[in-house]
Amino acid sequence: MKHLLDNIVWHSLSGPQAMFSAGNDSARRYAPGFSPIVGFPDQAQPDFAALEPFCQPDERLYSDGWSGAAPSGWQIEVETTMFKMIWEAETPASDEAPDAVPLGAEHAAQALELAQLTRPGPFGLRTIELGDYFGYFRGNRLVAMAGERMQAGPLREISGVCTHPDYQGRGLAKKLMLKLVRRQLLRNETPFLHVMSANTGARGLYERMGFRNYRESVVRVISRH
């Protein structure tokens, strides 16, 4: 199972989420409108020539696990690392967020606006179509959300976790995450997530919840010249 996590982007885009992807057997990406993430079957030797027809020159794309030199016609805009974390605790005994609102297409614009404000990771207008998303509202305002993104084998990612700055510190995102964890475990899925290495506060929270570090991975933001 963990070998799937090593190259989870490719296993998602070439497997259960192929309908959400664009590309071929040498390179794939989430289709425009979804999270701008690319994957390759061989992370050590990514085929950027195969990817190029499916990318616009002004797009900023996220790549996981590739650490070689930038090929001709491409540039590395950002390079950092992130941790892949996998759930290793018991199933939560109860739903931590029974009052959370399921997010649908009618909430897509608000979800994107919250993600752009809080920057939980690559996010697009259609990202909430990739799995179950739940949120908390204050009036008509979406103030916290969490949902599902990548999927391969029994692995199911928790992603898009964020809270509006005005409502942080109240445990809203944690409750939404535990709701998703419980739902996934009851479906015999294994929750996992990505977190930036520098975000030590979030990493500590996830460890206390029941996630464990699996490995640290290079993550880059790339674009065509």
Give the integer Cα–Cα distance in Å for 209 and 204. 9
Percentage of the chain modeled with pLDDT above 70: 99
Residue 70 has pLDDT above 80, yes or no: yes
Tell me which amino acid residue 49 is.
A
- Residue pair 40/13 in contact by the 8 Å Cβ criterion: no
What is the pLDDT at residue 2?
65
Does residue 182 contact residue 37 with C-beta atoms inside 8 Å? no
Estimate to the nearest angstrom the gap between the alpha carbon of 119 and the chain centroid. 12
Kindly list the distances between the CA atom of residue 201 and the CA atoms of 80, 195, 206, 208, in Å, as whole numbers in the listed order. Answer: 17, 10, 9, 11
**What is the DSSP secondary structure assignment for residue 46, as one 8-state letter?**
-
- Residues 102 and 121: their CA atoms lie apart, in Å, by 20
Return the ∠ at Cα 150 (arms to 149 and 154), rounded to 5°: 120
Q: Which domains does the chain have, with CATH numbers?
A: 2-82 (no CATH), 85-215 (3.40.630.30)
Sign for the CA dihedral angle at 155, 38, 42, 221 comes to negative
Q: Angle at Cα 120 formed by Cα 172 and Cα 196, nearest 5°?
A: 110
Confidence of residue 225 (pLDDT cuts 50, 70, 90): confident
Q: What is the pLDDT of residues 130-151, one digit of tens each?
A: 999 999 999 999 999 999 999 9
Give 1's pLDDT tier (boundaries 50, 70, 90).
Answer: low
Q: Supply the pLDDT for residue 52.
A: 95
Distance CA 213, CA 193 (A): 10
C-alpha–C-alpha distance, residues 121 and 108, integer Å: 16
| Mean pLDDT of all residues belonging to the chain | 96
Per residue in 15-48, pLDDT (tens digit) is: 999 999 999 999 999 999 999 999 999 999 999 9
Radius of gyration from C-alpha coordinates of the chain:
17
- Is pLDDT of 204 > 70? yes
Strand positions, DSSP E, the chain: 21-23, 28-30, 37-39, 61-64, 74-87, 101-102, 133-138, 141-152, 155-163, 190-196, 211-224
Distance CA 122, CA 70 (A): 21
Phi first, then psi: give them for residue 143, nearest 5 degrees. Answer: -115, -15
Where does the pLDDT of residue 117 fall: very low under 50, low under 70, confident under 90, or very high at 90 and above?
very high
